[in-house]
Amino acid sequence: MTNKIIGIIAGEPNSTASEIIFKAWEKRKKYKHFPFFIIGSFAILEKQKNKLGFKNLKLKKITEKFKKKDLIGNKLSVLNVNFQQSSSFVKISKKSKPYIFKCFDLCIKLIKSKKIMGLVNCPVSKEHLFDKNSKGVTEYLSKKYSALGKEVMLIYNKNLSVSPITTHIRLADVVRSLNKKIIIKKIETINHFYKKVLKKTPKIAVLGINPHNYSGYKKKSDENNIVLPAIKFLKKKKINIVGPISPDTSFMIYKKYKIDTIVGMYHDQVLTPFKSIFEFDAINITLGLPFIRVSPDHGVGSNIVGKKIANPNSLIESIKFFNNLK
C-alpha cells in the first residue's frame, strides 16, 4: 500500500523554489494536505532560509527509511541530496543539472518502493537542464517510465483546464507532429483522468490549428484532415467533445458552454490566454504516468530571486491537489 505522503523536489537551487517552499510550509495549517517533505540539498536550503529571513522556520534531515511520523511536527523535513555551491544564490547554470536529476531519480525510487504517492517538482530551468533532444520534465519522466508519447500535459484549474497536444516544440514542427491517432490518444487520457480521479465526466473543446480554422486549402485543410476525424471518432466513443472551435474566441465562450478543458494543438495556443486569465491559480499535471506528478505552473523567477516576493499559491495548489486521490 502506497503511503499518503508527497515528495517535493526542490528544483533549480538558484531560483525562487526555496522561497515558495518555505512560504508553503509556513501556511500549511491554512490548507488541507497530506504530509510532505523536500528532496534537495539540506545545506543550500539552510543557507537560503537564513538569506531570505525565515527566522522561525526550522529544517530537519530525514533518511530514505523515514516513517510518516517523522514528517509530523514543526520542522520541515528534508531528504538530503548533496550539492556544493559557494553562496546561498548564484547565477543559474548547467552546474546544477546532475544534482536536479539526482533528486528526480531519488524521488522515482521512492515512488517505485511505494514510500510516497506522487511528486511535486518545483520549477527548473529547461534551457540549462535539457538538451535539444529532451524537451522538458513531462517528457523526461515519460521516458523514464517507457511512456513517451503517452504523456499529457494538463494545466489544471477547477474552473477550466487546458492541454496542448504538442508541447515544447517549434511552431514550424507543429503540423508535421500532429495526426488523428495522437489527438485521440491524448483526449482519451484526459477524459479517463477526469472520470477516475476527479469523478466527473468532462466537456472537452478542441481547437483547430490555424486562425479561424482556415488554412486556405478547403480539401486539404489541416482541420479537415487531422482534427475533425479525431473529433468524430471520439464522439462515437461517447466522449463529450465539441470542435474544432476557432482558437481566437475559445476563451471567451468557455463559461457559456460549460467547458471543462480546452485542448489546443500547440503550447502557446492555450497556455498564453490561460495564464492571462488565471495567473498563478493553476497547476501542471502530467497524465499518462503510473503516478501523479504535479508542478507549479510558472518558471524559476530568475528576476526576483532573493527578493522574497515570489507567489507560493501554485505550489500550495499542487500540494492540495493530492487530496483528490483519497
What are the pLDDT digits (tens) for 117-136?
999 999 998 888 787 655 67
Length of the chain: 326
Q: Check residue 289 and give its pLDDT.
A: 87
Mean pLDDT for the chain overall: 90
- Strand, coil or helix: 23: helix
pTM of the predicted model, to two decimals?
Answer: 0.88
Q: Check residue 216 and give its pLDDT.
A: 59
pLDDT tens digits, one per residue of 68-120:
999 999 999 999 999 988 888 888 888 999 999 999 999 999 999 999 999 99
Domains, in order of start, for the chain: 1-148+288-326 (3.40.718.10), 152-286 (3.40.718.10)
Q: Minimal CA–CA distance to 80: which of 122, 120, 40, 21?
A: 40
pLDDT tens digits, one per residue of 7-37:
999 999 999 999 999 999 999 999 999 999 9
The residue written with cell numbers 494536505 in the block is 33
pLDDT tens digits, one per residue of 167-200:
878 888 888 999 999 999 999 999 999 999 999 9
- Round to whole Å and give the CA distance between 272 and 164: 11
Confidence of residue 239 (pLDDT cuts 50, 70, 90): very high
Q: Check residue 90 and give its pLDDT.
A: 87
Comparing 222 with 260, the larger pLDDT belongs to 260
Neighbours of 30 (CB within 10 A): 8
C-alpha cell at 169: 516544440
Q: Check residue 167 and give its pLDDT.
A: 84
Question: What string of DSSP letters covers 291-325?
Answer: SEEEEESS---TTSTTSS----HHHHHHHHHGGGG
pLDDT tens digits, one per residue of 138-174:
778 877 776 677 789 999 999 999 999 998 788 888 8
Strands 152-156 and 283-287: antiparallel
Q: Check residue 223 and give its pLDDT.
A: 86
- Round to whole Å and give the CA distance between 254 and 247: 12
